[in-house]
Structure 1
Amino acid sequence: MEDIQFLISKWKEILHKLEKNNGKVCQMEIGEAATLQEIEAKEKEVGCPLPPSYKYIVHNIGKSLSFYYSFSEDTMIPSEFREIFSGEIHWNIDFLKNLTIADDLLEDGEDDGRTLRGKLEFSHAGNGDVYAFDMSVDREEKPVIYWDHEEDTITYIADSFIDYLLKMTELGCIGSEKWQFEYFLSDSGLDTASPAAVRWKQWFETFSETTLEDVKNNMEQLTAFVVYREKLDEETITLLQKFNKNELFQFLLNELHKDGAFKDQKLLCEMIGRVLGQNAETWVSSIWEAKPDYMDTRLRSYLTSMCISKDKGLPLVINFLEQESNNKITGYDALSHLGHFYSGDVISWMENHVKFPVTEGWDELFIRSNFSWDDLKRWTSLEEKHEATAIRALEKYVHEKAANNTCSYVIAGLPAKSECIEFLVKLRNKQVLKKRILPIEKVIQNIDLFY
């Protein structure tokens, strides 16, 4: 068999590359080499000969080996490989296990685990799935398979243990869970020559951590950076505002038209809303008439709140909500469409639509709509559903204030502290349910957060 010591140097190169790019790295740990006597003893223990390439490796490298890495959050992995985030290799001869679980389950009259019959486990993935040798195959070298414990399915990975190590190494030792390496699977196992594998290897060979400094002067790269990191902050907004607004707008529109995940489109819309604002008003108005398939209605409502004046935009969204739901509006729907208007007009609209359970979006929408002291007094004097919403909103407001000292929202029209406490005590005293009394108590105890 070929000299496999080069694998160790290759693995060290991979770990060094990740470390150099601020990835998280658990360095390689190699156990002592297994003696021939230890290998023979293990074969007797598991009741079958071990595959030749496995025996060769534990005898010439070590009876155990492990390492792990994960990419830095600033490493922009290509979107087509978005599920890949880490890499690892590990085995331990002491953990070899003849999988008899299938026979045990079959005796109980169950089918789960039937696919594990004749398999010899040598490693496992982080999610509990199993790597094993298929000992039922009639040849000296045994193929490596992957067992999905949730689906009870077997996936063919490689023709042998050495084939498995070589192919995984060629791919950068990408993560052990199937959903990380399935981009490169074919009917005959890992295919390191497939078009997808070639693209991945080319990227992996040259990748480096990306920083805001690296992309700040390139509109396309900066946009991709925002989408990849799922974060649009004030610093990034300032940088985006330096580009030509028309060019940025057209680029973001083109990106929106591409097939992509909702969270990617959400960030693109956030860039349009927060960077371009009313400069995109004409286009946002047009999508209410065109109703494009690529645009989620929640994103259209968000853009309306950011790019169209409230007196024009809010009625559009409210009319849509009422017509679309036939007036059976849920709190979650109301929140997702109206939560970015931050308007007291939304609270007025809510009075006729709020319903139990108020915790499913209505209480959050009440807070988001910048409720005033008058709103609180009015809602606590209306129906039970209104009062319950106001109490939950007060509790959440206190929690957010306590957790975020930079929270600048102040309840408009707040009276003197003594008057506020008197109001809350009366509100508490008229409650019957403990789940409403306790939140009010918490608000009273934290009344200083209001001032």
Structure 2
Amino acid sequence: MDAAGLVAGLPEMLDGLAAQGFETRPLVVEAPASPERIAEVEQRLGCAVPGSLRHVLTAVAGRLEFTWFAPSDLAFPEPFDEIFAGNLHWSLDALPTLMDAARGWIKHAFPDPSDPYHRVWHDKVPFMDVGNGDLVALDQHGRAVYLSHDGGEGHGHVMADSFEDLLARWIPLACPGAEDVQWWPFRAESDGRIDPTSATAREWTALLRQV
């Protein structure tokens, strides 16, 4: 399913979660951005918006917010016991702020590109803040990469091969996270990308319907 189809299914997903007692936030899907607006933001960024993200921003939504929280008295079984929320958001207008945040981390904490941990933070375009200081970004190859500021296990981990690929992998799971500990159980054994077709993923989606 393409990005537009995945986004179109989010209202039904939220309705299903709400029916199971989850706290859901209103879904925000704003109109696609114009190429002219993309160009304005790129000037502020000082770099191009990666192609897959650009396509979604101009063809699907210039801003999206999808959020849910599990009931406070609900404890998922292992390996899902760290999951308490689902979150996916992006905004063209937020990209410069996120870039400033990344550059701040690079300047003050990760300035040395010769250091393997520091290097992960360099040459990335962040598109989503996790809420704890971490970011999700696109690298020079367009891959979705997790950036941890405090030694998180997911640091430098490639979640998907493009922004659209991330949507295709993460949305079917209801976007657990976005902290790395929450989506970590869904990594494929073969390449480490989020895998919505694995036995673990099928167990998770069945569990969401049974809560």
Letter in 2 for 1:8: V
Separation (CA, whole Å) in 2 of partners of 1:164 and 1:44: 26
Aligned pairs (5 A) from 1:214-293? none
* Aligned twin of 1:446: none
In structure 2, relative to structure 1, the CA distance for the partners of 1:80 and 1:104 (3 Å cut) is closer
* Aligned twin of 2:148: 148
Secondary structure of 1:189's aligned partner: coil
Separation (CA, whole Å) in 2 of partners of 1:14 and 1:102: 35
Secondary structure of 2:120's aligned partner: helix
Separation (CA, whole Å) in 2 of partners of 1:150 and 1:83: 18
Separation (CA, whole Å) in 2 of partners of 1:163 and 1:109: 27
Separation (CA, whole Å) in 1 of partners of 2:167 and 2:124: 19
Deviation of 1:178 after TM superposition, in Å, equals: 0.6
| Paired residues of 2:75 and 2:81 also in contact (CA < 8 A) | no
Deviation of 1:173 after TM superposition, in Å, equals: 1.6
Separation (CA, whole Å) in 1 of partners of 2:111 and 2:86: 38
How many residues align? The count is: 201
Letter in 1 for 2:162: S
Deviation of 1:76 after TM superposition, in Å, equals: 5.5
| Paired residues of 1:54 and 1:161 also in contact (CA < 8 A) | yes
Deviation of 1:14 after TM superposition, in Å, equals: 1.6
Normalising by structure 2, what TM-score?
0.83
Separation (CA, whole Å) in 2 of partners of 1:109 and 1:178: 23
Does 2:135 match 1:130? yes
| Paired residues of 1:102 and 1:113 also in contact (CA < 8 A) | no
* Aligned twin of 2:207: 203
Q: Which moved more, 1:160-169 or 1:68-77?
A: 68-77
Separation (CA, whole Å) in 2 of partners of 1:17 and 1:45: 39
| Paired residues of 2:31 and 2:63 also in contact (CA < 8 A) | yes
Separation (CA, whole Å) in 2 of partners of 1:174 and 1:77: 12
Say what the alpha-carbon RMSD is for the aligned residues: 2.6
Q: What per-residue deviation string (whole Å, max 9, x for no partner) do you get for residues 116-146 of structure 1?
A: 11111111112221100112x3xxxx00000
* Aligned twin of 1:63: 62
Aligned pairs (5 A) from 1:145-184? 145-151=145-151, 153-184=155-186
Separation (CA, whole Å) in 1 of partners of 2:83 and 2:113: 38
Letter in 1 for 2:126: E
* Aligned twin of 1:278: none
In structure 2, the gaps of 5 or more residues are none
Aligned pairs (5 A) from 1:48-447? 48-73=47-72, 75=74, 77-96=76-95, 97=99, 99-101=102-104, 104-105=107-108, 113-135=118-140, 137=141, 142-151=142-151, 153-186=155-188, 187-204=191-208, 206-208=209-211
| Paired residues of 1:103 and 1:114 also in contact (CA < 8 A) | no
Q: What per-residue deviation string (whole Å, max 9, x for no partner) do you get for residues 148-206 of structure 1?
A: 110173111100001111111111221211111100124431122322122212323x3
Greater share of helix: 1
Separation (CA, whole Å) in 2 of partners of 1:193 and 1:86: 20
Separation (CA, whole Å) in 1 of partners of 2:86 and 2:112: 38
Letter in 2 for 1:37: E
Q: Which moved more, 1:181-190 or 1:122-131?
A: 181-190
Secondary structure of 2:31's aligned partner: coil
Secondary structure of 2:47's aligned partner: coil
Q: Quick one: percent identity of the two aligned structures?
A: 27
In structure 2, relative to structure 1, the CA distance for the partners of 1:130 and 1:61 (3 Å cut) is same
Letter in 2 for 1:16: D
Normalising by structure 1, what TM-score?
0.41
Separation (CA, whole Å) in 2 of partners of 1:73 and 1:170: 23
In structure 2, relative to structure 1, the CA distance for the partners of 1:35 and 1:104 (3 Å cut) is same
Q: Greater CA radius of gyration, 1 or 2? A: 1
In structure 2, relative to structure 1, the CA distance for the partners of 1:79 and 1:119 (3 Å cut) is same
* Aligned twin of 1:407: none
